[in-house]
Amino acid sequence: MTWGQRRTLVILLVIAAVVLFIWIVPHWTFTSGEAISSNSVLVLDLNGSIEEQRATDLSSVFFGSPTLVLHEINDAIDSARTDSRIEGLVVRIGPLETGWAKLEEIHSHLLAFHASGKPSICYLGYDGEENAEYYVATGCDQIWLTPSNPLDVRGMMAEATFLRGTLDKLKVVPDFYHIAEFKTATNQYTEKKFTPAHREEVESLLTSLYDRYLTEVSSARHIDRSHFADLVQKGPFLPEDAMQDKLVDRLAYWDEVQDFFRQKTGEWNPVGFAQYRQGLSDGSGPRIAIIYASGEIVSGASQITPGGTVVMGGDSVAAEIREARTDSSIRAIVLRVDSPGGSALASEVIRREVQLARKKKPVVVSMSDVAASGGYWISMSADKIIADPGTITASIGVLSGKMNISGLYKLLGLSTDYVSTSDNATLYSSQQDFTPAQQLIVQRMLQNIYTSFTQGVAQGRGLPIATVQKIAKGRVWSGEQAKGLGLVDDLGGTDRAVTVAKELAHIPVNRSVEIVRLPKEKTLFDLFLERSEGQVISHGEDYSSIQSLVHRMSSMVEAEPVRAQMPYVLRIR
């Protein structure tokens, strides 16, 4: 070993020792500190995004992971409901950046806690308390609003961004094709506003979610539904008006929340969510696997972007399903899907493993915020599909195309040249539009994949192909609408999916089970091993820049020519 090699080895060992110290000591201190005492109050802070799984990377190890994970939130609420040490629950809600399905699940678990008789207070003491935050709050026994904080409850809106005007200025020409008329994923590039079909499906989806919102909130607050609907039309509300209309129970500050529990229990003894969840387990008994299928679907391995976003790799998820299929101790599989779709090929790789798995044990799909397009593709062959009412699903359609950036190159003074061996060698070249002959090739590929998609839905869901063709067309539906159409079997969250899986596996419904979660959360050693083997895939692009957006779209389509992608990026608030 040379002197340089020895020096490198010493440096690596020192770094490893420091990392282990940073990782192990705080963890040991945290988990072996004071036990939770009686008369405690669980304090749960909800704000920002809520994820299905924790994206473990080196940055989260070094700087801590503030990620809120849905099942951990719900498990903590459920445990506190029956935990004799916990006398009550306080939920502090800040601006939330997550979909309605996850909010529905948290809301239902809060309602179950409320039914236990223990006091639960939602404290609205932050800016940005809007429809979503208020919806979650209504799961608690009481809603307390700070005296200076307006309650921004009002009618809902759905908003999409269109880039065609910007692309025109950049001399970039979007050249895309899709099946069918509601498959509008590329409208953000090709249009400047909603097309009639695009507007129709957005209005339908928004109406479905809004109707559910009115029903559930009015029920939780014991307000007549029509009266609540009238109130919402007049929002937002000044604090005093919110009190008068019985939308909140009290105007108070944080110290008054503490005083409330001092009067109830004799002391204020808060327990933070991070501490409380350390003592939770995944149960015992017969084993059921929950496999998380989150993010945009790509071929190959699952990835984590530098921003912490999970990208679903077809090979990785297929391997996890295969692992659960071949493990004789696992009685059933729940595939938890939270994805807008992506590569049709990668989606088919996953679907095939679902098909193989259900030959050996039950496979139940549980849909989260989004299970659309490729997200529905990987779901359609399961024994049962369970969706939350607010899940965005279906979008049974496909698309393909490219960006012609030759005009942008000319604008920047760049130029390219090429030689080719055939006319179709330039099929996905970003320097020219599709020729008429190439358009026919793309359309034939699309029709072939669309036929496979609709036939797979018909077979998996037991529907006539004519019915599938009528409700497909690339259109998205809410989970509630999808149930009426036969695209899902039942409404509910992960708990409902586990119950259905137990029934199919002939496990008594009232018997506890052990949940095996895949993929397993990575350890520090796993992360270093990946880094040393070059397995960490990093997307270093700045996704906010137009240039990188165009480049990403161009390269993405070339890598995955036919995509089963959700029809648009839509914000409902």
**Per-position DSSP letters for 171-207, written without gaps between them:** T-EEEEEEESTT--TTHHHH-SS--HHHHHHHHHHHH
Give the largest Cα separation in the chain, rounded: 84
Amino acid, single-letter form, for residue 25: V
pLDDT at 309: 83
pLDDT, tens only, 21-58: 544 444 443 444 458 889 999 999 999 999 999 876 55
pLDDT, tens only, 124-139: 999 989 999 999 999 9
Token readout for 342 is 């992506």
For residue 495, the tally of other CB atoms under 10 A from its CB is: 17
Tokens 């192909």 belong to 465
Average pLDDT over residues 345-350: 97
The more confidently predicted of residues 174 and 35 is 174
Determine if the pTM surpasses 0.85.
yes
Mean pLDDT for all residues in the chain = 88
Asked whether residue 272 carries a pLDDT value surpassing 60, the answer given is: yes
Average pLDDT over residues 242-248: 97
Q: For the domain bounded by 287-414+428-572, which CATH number is listed?
A: 3.90.226.10
Average pLDDT over residues 260-287: 93
Distance from C-alpha of 348 to C-alpha of 342, rounded to nearest angstrom: 11
552 band by pLDDT with thresholds 50, 70 and 90: low
pLDDT at 304: 85
Asked whether residue 63 carries a pLDDT value surpassing 70, the answer given is: no
Tokens 């034939």 belong to 444
pLDDT at 537: 42
CB 110 within 8 A of CB 139: yes
CB 388 within 8 A of CB 479: yes
Asked whether residue 525 carries a pLDDT value surpassing 80, the answer given is: no
Token readout for 219 is 């029920």
530 band by pLDDT with thresholds 50, 70 and 90: low
Average pLDDT over residues 101-106: 98
Asked whether residue 149 carries a pLDDT value surpassing 90, the answer given is: yes
pLDDT, tens only, 373-426: 999 999 999 999 999 999 999 999 999 999 999 999 999 999 999 999 999 999
pLDDT at 137: 98
> Bridge-partner residues for 385, per DSSP?
365
Distance from C-alpha of 135 to C-alpha of 120, rounded to nearest angstrom: 15
CB 568 within 8 A of CB 444: no
pLDDT at 210: 96
Asked whether residue 244 carries a pLDDT value surpassing 90, the answer given is: yes
- What residue segments make up the domains of the chain, in order of their start? 36-154+235-279, 287-414+428-572
pLDDT at 306: 74
- With respect to CATH, is domain 36-154+235-279 assigned 3.90.226.10? yes
Backbone angles phi, psi at 500, to 5 degrees: -65, -40
For residue 413, the tally of other CB atoms under 10 A from its CB is: 6
The more confidently predicted of residues 573 and 556 is 573
Nearest to 297 by CA among 319, 273, 315: 315
- Determine what percent of the chain is predicted with pLDDT higher than 70: 83
Asked whether residue 484 carries a pLDDT value surpassing 50, the answer given is: yes
Distance from C-alpha of 418 to C-alpha of 340, rounded to nearest angstrom: 36
Give 462's contacts (C-beta < 8 A, 6+ positions apart).
none
Asked whether residue 553 carries a pLDDT value surpassing 80, the answer given is: no
Domains 36-154+235-279 and 287-414+428-572 are alike in CATH topology: yes
Asked whether residue 431 carries a pLDDT value surpassing 60, the answer given is: yes
pLDDT at 56: 62
Among 26-35, 148-157, 384-393, 469-478, the range scoring the smallest mean pLDDT is: 26-35
CB 316 within 8 A of CB 519: yes
Tokens 């909140």 belong to 248
